[in-house]
Amino acid sequence: MTTVIDVQGVSKQFKIHHERHQSLKERLLHPRSGSTEVFNALSSINLTVGQGETVGIVGQNGSGKSTLLKCICGVLKPTTGEIRLRGSLAALLELGAGFQTELSGRDNVYLYGAMLGFSKKMVDGIFDEVVAFSEIEQFIDTQVKFYSSGMYVRLAFAVAVNVNPDILVVDEVLAVGDERFQAKCVDRIQRFKDEGRTILLVTHNADQVRALCDRAVVLQSGDMIADGPTHESLRIFREHLLEDAVVHDSARLSESIKIDAVSSPTGSFGVRSGSALHLDVSVHSTSAYSGNFVMELFTRGGLLISRNDAQGSPINLVPGHNVVGIDLAQLPLLDGLYDLNVGIVDHRGHTVIAWSEQAATIQVTYDGREAGIVELGATIRQQ
Amino acid sequence: MSDAPSADPQRRSLEDTPVRVVSARATLSARLKNLWSRRELLLGLIASDIRIKYKNSSLGLFWSMISPAFTLGVYFLVFSVFLKNGIPNFVIYLFSGLVVWNMFQSSINTATGVIVDRAALVKKVSFPREILALSNVGASVVYFVVQLFVLAIFVGAVGHAPAWKFIVILPISFLSLYFFTSALAMVMSAVNVYLRDMKHLMEVLLQLWFWLTPVVYSYENSIAPHLAHRGLSFLYFLNPVTLIVVTFQRVFYVNTIVHSTVAPHPIIDVLPTWSFDKFLYLNGVLLAIAILSFFVAEAIFGRLEGNFESEL
């Protein structure tokens, strides 16, 4: 596999001005004042991405994921280290940032194409595709300033994905347009993937990473703390989120609740489709706590099968050892492995108190005739 | 994936594509190469600059002639009619100098603020940032060409023959103007990110600069005798725009020594009485300096560019 993105020891420091002196008078009057603090946004990141990989970059706000992406795109220059890239790259850092609102949609398509580094001839070749994808045929010669915000981002997205770059870099922009257009975007990215192109995706949405990426990288305060298969990395990400929550919200989380283990009374996580499954979750708490219990079930491919709403089910923990039972009366799942995540949130469902990613893997065996994920058990008869 | 790689025309191996490097410091030659490779973007930005400027005006590009024509008219009234400077065909003298000055001034005035004005773009899209400043210079070049065209027509219409022999120097002079203007525009656009006063300061400086350039008056007729007397003539020519303006005047106005149209001094020295060779030599030197300053400006821009994101 050819390496298309090679990030070698990249660090990025920002100077933060506490008092900005940008006028000449202020600079002359206060030549040395206005303290400047150096902020390490990235510290020695090493990352190689091969051709055809789809890599998700996850991290909390301020973890440096956008900075890394901007360095890769060349919008920012790394303070030290270098990034080697092969092939053309199109970045969706902010949709429509390159648009000139006074110009028509048509002119902007060409200008934006040129900004992404594609020639007029190439844009000529894909122009119709871009217009069709963005669904604004009748307004393409209207000045962009009269566009609705949805039309604006749709056009920008259409340009970036249709210039067919070798590398596509996407920063939290998949939430554009209505649900149908979002599906179209995800679909387009999927096709990109199938064409063997390389995609870097930054998002807060773990489900999107699960659905699109084979590999995920987790950043925390400028350090790369995980790089591996998506579910592994996401597990580490969740764990760190919780650690952080404990640190930042120590007053509320001083109880220190931990999910120790998930066990099955039968000792096995194997179950036949359609039969019942009982799981015991042992939770250790140092004090009494009333919260809610939540669970998620995923396929191995990362597809969410079920998650209860944020409220979950109320539980009252007592100091010491607690056992929470999960009863699945009739598991309607088909053959396969399913990952279970369990967690405890506060009673309003806003703060995660404890979380265990991939707490158990359930193996379902099925010998019926249906294929897919869920057994519908449809009866079909002619009337 | 089941299908063979060759079955998909979209799929290609990137094995052989060249590697691009993003690092803290790019060499000057790498920067220039990158800049050259994005010339299509430069042309696109120039076209959009011009289109936006005249988008909703019914006279469009005509404005790039109308407003200089008014300036020309005002200066003509003041210097030739009211102050009676006695220079015959003063309109041609003025016009040939103003064409150069307008190009210089409008470039610097628009380019100084351009990086700050387009911060949103600078922070989100990757391209050589100096292209923004260069696109402003490029748009001014277009207006310059339009005005030069009008000047040529005007000169022909009044039956005033240009100095044909000197015309070959014009392209050299123009290139000096282009490179020097671009260099200053790039540096100012970058400095303005750190010192926002630069935009206002430049507007003031350009006014002073205008009067240091022999556009509305004749250098030979006013300042030259005083400076030459002390052997300081070179001081005046430290202003690179001067030589360019004088060259344009030499080509279009032609006459170096004229008979005054008003009483006191019957003979006026309007332009330097240099030979063709001296004009060629001086312009050649200026072009070399201008190109050098362009490289230096590119290097300075590269230095300043590194911290744009924390200042914008």
A20 lies in the same domain as A146? yes
- Mean pLDDT across the stretch A10-34? 70
Q: Which residue did the predictor score with more confidence, B193 or B79?
A: B193
A272 lies in the same domain as A219? no
Strands A3-17 and A80-86: antiparallel
- Mean pLDDT across the stretch A316-325? 87
A73 lies in the same domain as A111? yes
- Per-residue pLDDT of A36-55, as tens digits, reads 778 888 888 899 998 888 89
Using left for φ > 0, alpha for ψ between -120 and 50, and beta otherwise, residue A170 falls in beta
Of A89-93, A145-149, B54-58, highest mean pLDDT: A145-149
- Per-residue pLDDT of A1-19, as tens digits, reads 788 889 888 888 887 766 6
Backbone torsions φ then ψ of A29, nearest 5 degrees: -75, -35
Helices (H) and strands (E) in chain A, counts: 9, 18
Contact between A140 and A177 under an 8 Å Cβ cutoff? The reply is no
Looking at the DSSP bridge assignments, the partners of residue B272 are none
**Residue with the two structure tokens 């990362």:** A302
- Judging contacts by C-beta atoms under 8 Å, the chain A residues touching residue B52 are 100, 102-103
| A103 inside 8 A of chain B by CB | yes
Kindly state whether residue A237 falls inside one of the protein's structural domains: no
CATH number of the domain at A133, please: 3.40.50.300
Task: For residues A45 and A218, give the distance between their C-alpha atoms in angstroms, rounded to a whole number.
Answer: 11
pLDDT of A310 = 54
Residues 6+ apart with CB under 8 A from A353: A253, A255, A257, A289, A291, A343, A344, A345, A346
pLDDT of B272 = 81
pLDDT of B11 = 53
DSSP of A300-356, one letter per residue?
TTS-EEEE--TT-EEEEE-SEEEEEEEEES---B-SEEEEEEEEEE-TTS-SEEEEE
- Judging contacts by C-beta atoms under 8 Å, the chain B residues touching residue A23 are 195-197
- Per-residue pLDDT of B22-80, as tens digits, reads 777 778 888 898 889 888 899 999 988 888 888 777 777 777 778 888 888 888 888 87
Kindly state whether residue A242 falls inside one of the protein's structural domains: no
Best residue in B125, B127, B305 for a mutation probing chain A (most A CBs within 10 Å): B125
For residue A346, pLDDT over 60 is answered with yes
Number of folded domains that form chain A: 2
Among residues A210, A195, A209, A206, the alpha carbon closest in space to that of A161 is found at A195
- Per-residue pLDDT of B142-183, as tens digits, reads 999 989 998 888 888 888 888 888 889 999 999 999 999 999
Contact between A219 and A213 under an 8 Å Cβ cutoff? The reply is no
Question: What is the span of the domain harbouring residue A334?
Answer: 254-365
Among residues B241, B120, B78, B70, the alpha carbon closest in space to that of A101 is found at B120
For residue B140, pLDDT over 90 is answered with yes
Residues A295/A300/A301/A304 CA torsion (nearest 10 deg): -10
Kindly state whether residue A177 falls inside one of the protein's structural domains: yes
CATH number of the domain at A303, please: 2.70.50.60
Of A80-94, A146-160, B87-101, B175-189, highest mean pLDDT: B175-189
A100 lies in the same domain as A202? yes
- Mean pLDDT across the stretch B10-17? 63
CB pair distance less than 8 Å for B45 and A194 = no
**Residue of chain B nearest A19, judged by CA positions:** B311
Q: Which residue did the predictor score with more confidence, A183 or B99?
A: B99
Chain B residues touching chain A at CB-CB below 8 Å:
1, 5, 8, 10-11, 13-15, 17-24, 38, 40-41, 44-45, 48, 51-52, 55, 120-121, 123-127, 194-198, 201, 305-307, 309-311
Question: What 3-state DSSP class applies to A108?
Answer: helix
For residue B104, pLDDT over 80 is answered with yes
Best residue in A10, A77, A163, A164 for a mutation probing chain B (most B CBs within 10 Å): A77
| A24 inside 8 A of chain B by CB | yes
A171 lies in the same domain as A203? yes
pLDDT of B6 = 39
pLDDT of B10 = 47
A17 lies in the same domain as A158? yes
Between residues 29 and 48 of chain A, which touch chain B (CB distance below 8 Å)? none
Contact between A231 and A206 under an 8 Å Cβ cutoff? The reply is no
- Determine what percent of chain A is predicted with pLDDT higher than 70: 88
| A81 inside 8 A of chain B by CB | yes
| A181 inside 8 A of chain B by CB | no
Q: Which residue did the predictor score with more confidence, A31 or A318?
A: A318
For residue A352, pLDDT over 60 is answered with yes
- pLDDT level of residue A311 (50, 70, 90 thresholds): low
Q: Which of A75, A84, A114 sits opposite B124 (nearest CB)?
A: A75
For residue A349, pLDDT over 60 is answered with yes
A260 lies in the same domain as A199? no
pLDDT of A80 = 87
Q: Which of A22, A76, A164 sits opposite B309 (nearest CB)?
A: A76
Contact between B81 and B73 under an 8 Å Cβ cutoff? The reply is no
pLDDT of B264 = 66
**ipTM exceeding 0.90, yes/no:** no
A220 lies in the same domain as A269? no
Residues 6+ apart with CB under 8 A from B209: B239, B241
Q: Which residue did the predictor score with more confidence, B122 or B85?
A: B122
Kindly state whether residue A226 falls inside one of the protein's structural domains: yes
Contact between B262 and B89 under an 8 Å Cβ cutoff? The reply is no
Q: Count Cβ atoms within 10 A of the Cβ of residue A163 and give its class: 0-12 exposed, 13-18 middle, 19 or more buried.
A: buried
For residue B119, pLDDT over 70 is answered with yes
CB pair distance less than 8 Å for A98 and B22 = no
Looking at the DSSP bridge assignments, the partners of residue A289 are A317
pLDDT of A23 = 67
Question: What 3-state DSSP class applies to A36?
Answer: strand
- Judging contacts by C-beta atoms under 8 Å, the chain A residues touching residue B121 are 97-98, 115
Residues 6+ apart with CB under 8 A from A229: A214, A215, A216
Task: For residues B271 and B274, give the distance between their C-alpha atoms in angstroms, rounded to a whole number.
Answer: 9
This prediction has a pTM of 0.77
A78 lies in the same domain as A191? yes
- Per-residue pLDDT of A97-124, as tens digits, reads 778 888 888 888 888 888 888 888 888 8
Task: For residues B72 and A359, give the distance between their C-alpha atoms in angstroms, rounded to a whole number.
Answer: 82
- Per-residue pLDDT of B230-265, as tens digits, reads 777 777 788 899 999 999 999 998 877 777 777 666
A152 lies in the same domain as A286? no
- Per-residue pLDDT of B156-165, as tens digits, reads 888 888 888 8
CB pair distance less than 8 Å for A97 and B125 = yes
Kindly state whether residue A241 falls inside one of the protein's structural domains: no
For residue B4, pLDDT over 50 is answered with no
Task: For residues B190 and A157, give the distance between their C-alpha atoms in angstroms, rounded to a whole number.
Answer: 30
Kindly state whether residue A372 falls inside one of the protein's structural domains: no
Kindly state whether residue A376 falls inside one of the protein's structural domains: no
B308 residue type, one letter: F
pLDDT of A27 = 67
A219 lies in the same domain as A81? yes
**Residue with the two structure tokens 């027509």:** B153
A264 lies in the same domain as A143? no
- Give the domain-ending residue among A202, A232, A262: A232
Q: What single-letter DSSP state applies at residue A374?
A: B
- Judging contacts by C-beta atoms under 8 Å, the chain A residues touching residue B44 are 110-111, 114, 120
- pLDDT level of residue A135 (50, 70, 90 thresholds): confident
Long-range contacts of B163-168 (CB under 8 A, 24+ apart): B163/B250, B163/B251, B163/B252, B163/B254, B165/B276, B166/B247, B166/B250, B166/B251, B166/B276, B166/B279, B167/B251
Kindly state whether residue A378 falls inside one of the protein's structural domains: no
Q: Which of A111, A117, A166 sits opposite B48 (nearest CB)?
A: A111
Q: Which two tokens stand for residue A124?
A: 């000529």
pLDDT of B115 = 92
Of A320-324, B61-65, B288-292, highest mean pLDDT: B288-292
- pLDDT level of residue A194 (50, 70, 90 thresholds): confident
Inter-chain Cβ pairs, chain A and chain B, closer than 8 A = 129
